[in-house]
Amino acid sequence: MRTADIRRRFLDFFAERGHTIVPSAPLPTPDPTLLFVNAGMVPFKPYLTGEQAAPWPRATSVQKCIRTLDIEEVGRTTRHGSFFQMNGNFSFGDYFKEEAIGFAWELSTKAQAEGGYGLDPDRIWVTVHHSDTDARGIWREVAGLPDARIVARGDEDNFWSMGVPGPCGPCSELYYDRGPALGREGGPAVDEDRYMEFWNLVFMQYERGEGAGKSGYPILGELPRRNIDTGMGLERMATLLQGKDNLYEIDETRPVLDRAAELAGVRYGADAQADVRLRVVADHVRTALMLLADGTAPGNEGRGYVLRRILRRSVRSMRQLGFHDPALPELMTVARDCMAPGYPEVTEAFARIVDQAYGEEDAFRATLKQGTTVLDTAVSKVKAEGGRSLPGKQAFLLHDTYGFPIDLTLEMAAEQGVEVDREGFTALMNEQRERARADARARKSGGATDTGALRTVLDAHGPTEWRAWETLTTESKVLAVLGANGPVPAAREGEIVSVVLDRSPFYAESGGQDSDAGRISGSSAEAEVLDVQRPLPGLVVHQVRITAGELAAGDPVVAAVDPEWRLGARQAHSGTHVLHAALRETLGPTALQSGSYNRPGYLRLDFPWRGALSQRVRSEIEEAANRALRRDLPVGVRWMPLAEAKELGALALFDETYGEQVRVVEIGGAWSRELCGGTHVDHASQVGTVALTAEASVGAGMRRLEAAVGVEGFGYLARERDLVSRIAEQLNAPRAELPEKIAGLLDRLKAADRENARLKARATAAQAAELAGRAVDAGGTLVVTTTADGTTDEARALALAVRDRLPQGRPGAVAAATASGGLVLALTAPAREAGLNAGALVKQLLGGRGGGSAEIAQGGGIPAERLNDVLAELPRLVGGH
């Protein structure tokens, strides 16, 4: 039974029994305690805890989940993956133990022809909490299970809570005996590989108090409403119903594994280490596909880093298997075809998915090449000095300068027998993060990090008289000059300080609008305004650089906003409102702005949407925005009570807190009506133009539009026009014919590439035949050593070609080196059967560096003067085996 059919059968079963089918929530979760949904109950958490009333008495779902705490164990066990799907049925104060147990038993054991899974009831074992006599009795009555197959277990195994005060309760787990070939007899308490858990029933009936661990807390009493939360592992059920040994071999993962094995030229099941790497690839490629489909983008923090790590581990595993070409273009398509029956969105968003995935692989390949050289040099130095640990400073350099993740440094150093000073690395990382946090705090406080000093200024002088909506210039008085550590008597030329004025015309960064630029001038000083913030309610703080003279508290000054800057800012902010209205006009009211940023000439706008926007839709949005500009819609500002603004349909964004009186900005009346504190143009035509420059994903179900506006918008369009003109001139073709002309050129280039590849293959074949004919006998093994022009990939192709031309049935070893110090070694099947291992031989030749599979391996870092010596060593190693 295919996995998609198992999923469908589960939902149908519970829908027929009164459960509402709830679609899977996206993998990224708004829960601040989690990066991703890690259990089927997470989307239902507010209903199970009583924070919200459930919309339905009973529900069912198949929830996508991610768990990455034990990512290094992926591929080593038979039943754990980083991405998995949890089938669940839930009751919110409706049914309880008897019905939950009855449903699980019925669906598990009912014949497949009747809509069940058809598991043999005599091979099902269950566990219950040792105190739960009710569950034990129900299993006897409903399922007819003998006591011997109802196993009592303690809090560690069969009592559930969320780790904090709240609902808790005993649980009952279902296990299936997969037979003596997979482990010892005696039930799940003896062997959880042979007896695979496939369903867990949680009976939420108690409330727990404070305490640690699985049992270090008091039970406060019974819940007023008892709930049911169950989870059936979809991959585990597929493993059982498809007769597989592990979840990596089911229909949603095995095709990826098989393609990876084919690319790497290895056979699954022939080598334990290679099998682990193949399973890592199968798991991680699928996981990355699903994360990308839900809008997660590779990055250096949080969710993005998890995705980046998973992608990089899959690419590195392919390299360890001996495949050095781009792997994701081959594997992502296979994963898409596996997952599309259950998740059609992976097909709809595939262009965006692969764009991000392939770009990440390309970047990582470059990082790996550069970082590996640096790491190998550092490890060699440590070994030469008799050390066993790579300094934390070196690991931090690899991370900070070369983008080499610490987990990869740890893994690659371990392969060469060297540890890493993890504590030293962590200390340096923490220092860097603290500097970044301090910089962010300084920016948000206008450069002054002493908030106590700012509070003193506010208490002494009251709020700033803020005039940004009315004027570009004010005559002001300096109330305070503050450095990083508090007030200073004066600031001199070249210094950057924070300045508080009694009144200010400068817009302080807020509502997505960047702060104003301009100058503060006095009789004895000139200062450039770098940033303007509101670190405390009512207080405007200017970060300035003194460009001439000396500025002190009490000085009278003129504060002047740069008029060109303000004009650009007004165009960008009004352009944001226009684009938002055009977006909703084109896509509908659900495309509601969830974040924005604008500065002179540029704007970006984030909004919830699943899937990339097509070029046609982007053009429609841009056209709707520019139609509003051509119609010269009036821009008006009104103050009104919040209730009246809501009644008018004004959009309140960003979950901001509003007072009773709010500022409403309208463009064309009801066409665009938003609560806003920014600066705006007087008529829409003053925006000039809105030219969309980019559209991308910025998170789960979240898209971002970027645009150039005003003079910068016209400049962007002019550059695009000039680019098209130059291309048309170079191709000697009218603009209208450029797509066809370029397509023809690309076709010819591809044909030329194919011809070059054919000629190169022919040349390699001729060279390989000659080299194979010159093989030397080393203790019964034919050995060929040679140098290859070009890259390690070309050396690899030559080594394989020579190996395939050695006499059939004879053990053979082929080593090809490059001028840059790379080495590739390939073995024939008889050589491997005789006990030779390519990975082990490469490590011997290179002093512990390098690695790969038993069939083919590689390494690098050979000094040019030692190249021939290393090659000459191979016959001795092989002959002495």
Q: Give the residue numbers of the binding site for Zn(2+).
A: 573, 577, 676, 680
In terms of DSSP H, where are the helices of 517-655? 563-587, 615-630, 642-648
C-alpha 433/C-alpha 771 separation (Å) is 55
C-alpha 634/C-alpha 514 separation (Å) is 24
Using alpha carbons, select from 493, 503, 500 the residue that is nearest to residue 526: 493
Using alpha carbons, select from 798, 796, 825, 829 the residue that is nearest to residue 811: 829
C-alpha 556/C-alpha 298 separation (Å) is 51
Contact 836, 879 (CB under 8 A): no
Sole residue written with tokens 């970027």: 706
Residue type, 455: R
Using alpha carbons, select from 660, 661, 663, 635 the residue that is nearest to residue 651: 663
In terms of DSSP H, where are the helices of 199-323? 234-241, 254-264, 272-293, 302-320
C-alpha 212/C-alpha 186 separation (Å) is 32
* Pairing outcome for strands 58-66 and 20-21: parallel
Contact 164, 216 (CB under 8 A): no
The pair of structure tokens assigned to 575 is 């352009």
* 152, containing H or E segment: strand 150-153
C-alpha 171/C-alpha 311 separation (Å) is 36
Helix (H, G, I), strand (E, B) or coil at 259: helix
C-alpha 630/C-alpha 619 separation (Å) is 16
In terms of DSSP H, where are the helices of 462-560? none
Using alpha carbons, select from 778, 860, 856 the residue that is nearest to residue 817: 860
Residue type, 169: G
Contact 361, 315 (CB under 8 A): yes
DSSP E strands in 609-687: the ranges are: 635-641, 661-667, 672-675
Contact 866, 847 (CB under 8 A): no
* Pairing outcome for strands 539-552 and 525-536: antiparallel
Conformational region of residue 169, where left means phi above 0, alpha means psi within -120 to 50, and beta covers everything else: left
Using alpha carbons, list the distances in angstroms from residue 649 to 267, 577, 669, 673. 64, 15, 11, 7
Instruction: Read off the DSSP letter of residue 180.
Output: G
C-alpha 514/C-alpha 496 separation (Å) is 19
Residue type, 807: P
Contacts of 132 (CB under 8 A, 6+ apart): 158, 170, 172, 203
**Residue 192, CA atoms < 13 Å, CB-side half-sphere:** 13
Torsion, CA 371, CA 375, CA 378, CA 380, rounded to 10: -130
Percentages helix, strand, coil for the chain, rounded to the nearest 5? Answer: 45, 25, 30
What is the torsional sign of CA 312, 317, 319, 323? negative
The pair of structure tokens assigned to 716 is 């962007």
The pair of structure tokens assigned to 632 is 């010269």
* 859, containing H or E segment: strand 856-859
CA angle 504, 506, 508 (to 5 degrees): 110
Binding-site positions read: 573, 577, 676, 680
* 529, containing H or E segment: strand 525-536
C-alpha 258/C-alpha 328 separation (Å) is 14
